[in-house]
Structures are given as C-alpha cells and as structure tokens.
Chains A and B, each alone.
Chain A
Amino acid sequence: MSRVFNWQLGREMDYPYEDARPAKQIAWVFDLNKCIACQTCSVACKMTWSSGRGQEYMFWNNVETKPYGGYPKAWDLTVLEKIGPGSWKDGVYEGKTIFEAADQRNEKMVGHRPGDEEWNHPNIGEDVIAGGEMPQGAHIVDETHPLWFFYMPRICNHCTHPACLAACPRRAIYKREEDGIVLIDQSRCRGYRECVKGCPYGKSLFRANHEVSEKCIGCYPKIEKGKQTQCVENCIGKIRGQGFVTDPKQGKPNPDNPIDFLVHVRKVALPLYPQFGTGPNVYYIPPIHTPTDFLEQMFGGGVQHAIDTYRNVPQDETLAGLLQLFGSSPEIMETFAVKKKVALGYNRDGKKVAAVPITEPPQLRKSFDRKRDAYRLDVT
C-alpha cells in the first residue's frame, strides 16, 4: 500500500501497490465532438493485434454510444454503483475511489468481472437516443440538447495508478519506465482474471482459448519509433491526438507540448471517470451539447470550463490550430506552434512533420475539368 498524490482528484489517495512513475507518460486526447462511430479505429486495432482465434469478441479499441452503450455491457454503471456517490469541490474529489471503496482485508479494489454475455454484444445500445421521444416538428433551441447521445471511443487508459497491475497476484503486469505503457507479460500470466476484475474500465480482457488475459499494448513498437498508434493514425474523424502528458507532481506542464496544452493549460480535455482513482491517461474533450450533469459524472468537476473553452475556439487561435493538427501526421508531435494562422507540429527530434492552416484558403476550380473530361457541380 502506498500513499500517492492523484492530481486528477486534487488530493492524495491510497494505492495498493508501489508508486512508480515513469520517465514519460503516454497520453491521448479524443475530441468527442467529432467522433462519427465509423469504427475505423476498432478495425485498425483489431486487424493489427487481435484477429486471432479466441479473440472474436476482443476489442482493445471499441466505440460505444453513450448513455446506453457499453462494452462490456454497463461497465461504468456497475463500478459507479460500487463506489457510491461523490462530488467535486474546488477541483477536489470528495468521494471514494475504487481502492478506497474496497474492503482492504478481502480485496484491493472494488471489482467487477463481466461475463461472456457482457462482452459478446460490443455494439449494444448503439445510436439509442436519451431524453425521451422525438415529437413531430421538434427542434433544438438551446445549446444543450434535450435529446442527445454521443460516441465514445475507448482504449486502455495506460493509467498512472493502474488497477489491473495492482490486482495481479503474479506481478505479470508492468508499467514501462520509458513511456508508461501498461503491459501484461504473456509468459507470466496464468489467466487468473484478477486484472479483468480489477480494471474499472473493462480494458483487460480474457482470451479463453489461451487462458491468458490480454489488453491494449499502446502499439508500443510504433511508439518506440515515434509513430502514433494505429487507432490514432487511422481515425477518419481526426478526433485523436497523441503524445506525452506531464504529471504536475513531477514537473511543470510545457505549453508547447500539445497534450499538456490541452490538459493542463487550456484544461479542455478531461480524464474519463477520474473518480475511479486510477489516473487514466486518455483525455476527452466533452461533447458540448450533452447535459452537463451527465458529463460531470463522467469527466469530473472541470466540465463546464472545458465546454466554455471549446465554444471559444474561434477566438482562440492556438487552440484552434492545435485541434487542426489532430490526424495530420503519422508521427507523434511532441511540440507544436501556431504561427501566422498555420499550425506546425514537430516530432521528437524537433523536425517539422505537419503544417496545417487554421482556415483552408478557398480553391476555385473550373466547372469543366479538361483532364477528366467531366463537369463539376461543386466548384469550391
């Protein structure tokens, strides 16, 4: 047991394992306002890593519809119910984490091990609208929509205080010192499924035919080469940014680092269910039309600020530029700059790998294309 400072909770908490922070921490930012649930990310991941026999229902990356979707089914509601209600006061979480809610004599964290039924319907609740019936002639008048749903792409959060790792009695799970990626050593795993039960996000999965647990590996061979993960590189909606986040406990956030800028400077990207206490490192820009109380349950106390910041993007050149850089290079952009209304992304060697104008200059094309011998209706 160790006492750790969890900056996402604004306070210290008990963590049933040693507190070991990596030199660098991998992190993602997903802009939920832009996801279209095309599942290209899920397919990119699956074709790369989990297309084997026994992995039929295994999605390291999945996209679910909120509020009714969930893979595994009701993963979040089940954990929320177990930790009980909590509230946020001045950025401090007043409630219990999954570790604090556990009876430490018998368990390290309140856990939940979903069964086959829960895993075998990855798109349950898809596109189901919340808020009631859509009457004839209804239209939206407010900024917050009374009828709503949004898409929620999810991968392993490569948590700062991983529950999966703390749960494993064999110490088969480890967090890499160089980038904070959390991995299950396949040769040490004996398939006890303690991590499947321990991870509150349902992101440690069991492969029954090999009798081992498997999870997202953060595409570590790509990360080592400075490349973005498959789900980021292939995202059609360009909703995903990836890089490294600074733990304010360890150092001062760098405003030139895209992730630090979004998470710590503008505070527009928020951790998913920070109250679980694992320190997740996938940060979400909340969907601005969704009722705020729902979002607060999901992303904590900073929701209103994030929504206001996002609405202000047209006036915020740096933020507008940075969001343009999402999906603009297969390389990880560790730093960025916005100069003369052009966003520039630099890789780990400081080499420029992307230059994107905030506003694309209009292109006017002839209505008759001589080369293709065709007429165009859309000439701009």
Chain B
Amino acid sequence: MRIRSLLAVSLIALAHGAAAAPLEEMRVVFVRDGVFASPVDDAWAAIPESTYDLHAQQIIPPVGGGSVTKVSVRATHDGEEVAIRLAWADPSADRGVGVNTFRDAVAIGFPIGRPDPAPSPFMGDPEHPVVIWQWAADFDANAEGNSRFGERYPHSEGVWIFPQDMSVRRQVRGWRGQEPVIEYIARGFGTLTPRMEASVEGVSDYRDNHWTVVLRRKLITSNATDAAFVAGETTPFIIAIWNGEHEEVNGRKAVTYAWIPAKFDGLGSTTTKSDVGVSREGDR
C-alpha cells in the first residue's frame, strides 16, 4: 500500500527526531499544599506559562484541522498529584454532538512507563504504547447534567420502554460520555482503545472565548499501563485540540508535532501556595 510505506518512512524519520526537535520544556511547579484543581483558581497566575504552536494534522488521513493555533500550559504537582492546565482561544463552545455537529476537545498523550528514548509521539507503536487523556466538551456537559441533547433530538426524551436500550446503555456506560475525561491506550495509528479504569479528573471553564481545562491525576497509580510521573524527572507529552465548530474530529485536529518535555520540580523545592502569591478566594 502506497500510503502505508510513505507513512512508515515519515514515522521513522519523526521517531528518530529527524523531523521534529523536542519543544521548549514545561516546568511542573512543586506546590506543597495541594495542586490547583480549578481552572479559575487565581493561584495559577503565579505559575510560569509555556505556549506552544499547534499545526494541522498531516500524517495520516483524514488530515486537516488546525483551526486552533496556540495552547498555553501551566502545571503543578504536590508530590501526590499533578494538575495540568491547558488554555486556548475558541470563539464558540461546542458542547453537543449530532450527525453533523461536532464538539470541542483536548487530549494529552504520554509514553507508558519511562521508555528511553521516547517513542513516536504519534500514537506510539506496537512495542511502545502511549496513554492518552481526552477531555471532551460533550462528555463534560453530560457529566454536569448540562447535556442539551433533548433540545436537538426532542423525540429522544420521555419514557422509554424498550429493554435493549437499557442493556446497550449499560454496556457503553463509564467510558462513553459519562465522565468528562476518557483514557485511551494506543499502539500506533488506528489502535486507540478506551480503557475502563479512570484515573484522570477533568474540570473545565469557558469564558471570554477561551477554554481552560485542568486535568489532574495521582503521580503514581496502581495501573501498569499508565504514564509514570516522578518528582525531579522529566516526562514527555503531546497535545491535540479539536474545534467542533470547524468539524474537527478524529485525525482532523491541531497538534504539537513533537514531544514537550515536562520537568517535574523535585520535592525539595519549598514552594507553597502562599509563595506563589495565592489567595484561595478564586477557588471554585
């Protein structure tokens, strides 16, 4: 297959860093008294921000996307948990899904374990899987009870008598639209597989034409197929953003074309929330 072999060549090139040098390092600031879980916590203002350019996905069809061109990231950890805050401009909040309605979403991916050198940033490969956390605006709306599905599909509301509906619902529950964040494992293109165990929490805020999303997880989980975060060390990650208004879904997305090194502060740092000028007033 022509597409395949082309792809293999470009992948090998990319995997060996020939095409894409690693991006500017992002600092994961150590805070002693708890990470900032809310996207609107004023404390974030004191955390250094790293901004990355995003590009339309061009490696594997369907190509395209890229209407979001920049993402700003801040991160904190407290030795127990890590919180990553992603902020980007999007003039419309797209929270619903219909046959030709698409939703906004953001995903970050990490290699599983601590492989050296890091594998391909694009969905990993069979030997080097990656774990992906995807926050989606429609799942978020469902979880918050703000789904406006019935407005768009009025006949779907009301009492439903067919038993198969319940059984199907039960099957998809838990990983399709009930939690704001879904976790996936990928071992190359087209292998994205949702994982039942959820360890990541997501909180979002949309105002002034901006999405702000905080993704939070324990540094160490009991799951062997998780990214490992160690204080004082560096973990690479990548970012993808979908803009529903522009029908972005699947491969049509805005991506960082290389790993971003996330440097976790060591536990010895003495930063506290008050050190970074925090008032707790902004917490929600």
Contact = CB atoms under 8 A, between A and B. Distances in A.
Interface of A: 1, 51-54, 56-57, 106-108, 113-116, 119, 169-171, 188, 190-194, 196, 205-206, 208-212
Given A53-B160, A209-B156, A116 B99 contact: yes
B280 interface: no
Contacts of B176: 210-212
Interface stretch (B17-25, B59-67, B114-122): B59-67
Contacts of B152: 116, 208
Given A1-B2, A169-B60, 6 more contacts: A57-B155, A169-B190, A169-B250, A169-B251, A191-B249, A193-B99
A56 B99 contact: no
Contacts of A54: 153, 156
B282 to A, nearest CB: 34
Given A56-B153, A208-B149, A116 B100 contact: yes
B1 A56 contact: no
Contact of B61 (A114, A169, A188, A196): A169
Interface stretch (B33-41, B161-169, B265-273): B161-169
Which 3 A-B pairs have CB atoms at the shortest separation, nearest pair first?
A: A52-B165, A192-B250, A115-B100
B153 A114 contact: no
A51 B162 contact: yes
Report the contact-size class of chain B (Cβ under 8 Å from the partner): 20 to 34
Contacts of A169: 60-62, 189-190, 250-251
Nearest to B154: A56
A209 B190 CA distance: 23
Contacts of B98: 115-116, 206, 208
A212 B99 CA distance: 10
Contacts, number: 83
B224 interface: no
Given A1-B2, A52-B160, A191-B97, A209 B153 contact: yes
Contacts of A108: 61
A211 B177 contact: yes
A193 B251 contact: no
A375 to B, nearest CB: 44
B3 interface: yes
A325 B101 CA distance: 46
A378 B176 CA distance: 61
A52 B168 contact: yes
Given A53-B160, A54-B156, A206 B61 contact: no
B249 A192 contact: yes
B192 interface: yes
A188 B193 CA distance: 7
B8 interface: no
A108 to B, nearest CB: 7
Nearest to A115: B100
A66 to B, nearest CB: 24
Given A53-B156, A106-B63, A108-B61, A208 B164 contact: no
B192 A208 contact: no
8 contacts: A51-B165, A56-B156, A116-B100, A116-B152, A191-B97, A191-B249, A208-B98, A208-B152
A211 B102 CA distance: 10
B9 interface: no
A116 B63 CA distance: 25
A116 to B, nearest CB: 6
